[in-house]
């Protein structure tokens, strides 16, 4: 099981004023050939994912570390009757803190309708495995 920690920016109605607040949520994923959410019911209305902490293992030296990955891209598509589908791309590019091995990965998250997790897919990863 892979556990992602998502950081989100959420709207909060505070005394008739809308203020930003930050929340963290845990997303558990099964690891087979790819990653897939344990529960598809995850939802976070009024929140927007801004970054993710992803536990990985360096394929060269075996060192385990947490990659701090940012949302690098966001696209919306107009879909059917429930409105927009949002695709967010979590991207990481860095080095293993122990051996300097170059590592990178991209994770795609789809929300439909916005705030409701639809699908997660690892687009590619280089030099690391998800743990």
Of 3, 70, 71, nearest in space to 35 by CA: 3
Measured distance CA(6)–CA(50) in Å, rounded = 8
Nearer to Zn ion, 58 or 107 (CB): 58
Q: Which residues bind Zn ion (CB under 5 A)?
A: 58, 60-61, 63, 96, 98-99, 101
Nearer to Zn ion, 56 or 96 (CB): 96
Least distance in angstroms from the C-beta of 33 to Zn ion: 23
Measured distance CA(77)–CA(94) in Å, rounded = 30
Least distance in angstroms from the C-beta of 101 to Zn ion: 4
Nearer to Zn ion, 7 or 63 (CB): 63
Nearer to Zn ion, 101 or 104 (CB): 101
Least distance in angstroms from the C-beta of 13 to Zn ion: 46
Measured distance CA(124)–CA(129) in Å, rounded = 10
Least distance in angstroms from the C-beta of 131 to Zn ion: 13
């Amino acid at each position: 099981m892979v556990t992602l920690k998502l950081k989100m920016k959420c709207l909060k109605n505070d005394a008739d004023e809308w203020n930003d607040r930050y929340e963290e949520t845990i997303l558990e994923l099964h690891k087979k050939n790819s990653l897939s959410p344990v529960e598809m019911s995850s939802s976070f209305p009024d929140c927007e994912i801004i970054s993710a902490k992803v536990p990985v293992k360096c394929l060269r030296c075996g060192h385990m570390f947490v990659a701090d990955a940012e949302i690098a891209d966001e696209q919306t598509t107009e879909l059917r009757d429930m409105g927009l589908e949002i695709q967010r791309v979590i991207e990481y590019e860095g080095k293993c803190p122990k051996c300097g091995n170059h590592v990178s990965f991209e994770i795609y998250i789809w929300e439909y309708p916005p705030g409701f997790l639809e699908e997660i897919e690892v687009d590619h990863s280089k030099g690391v495995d998800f743990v």
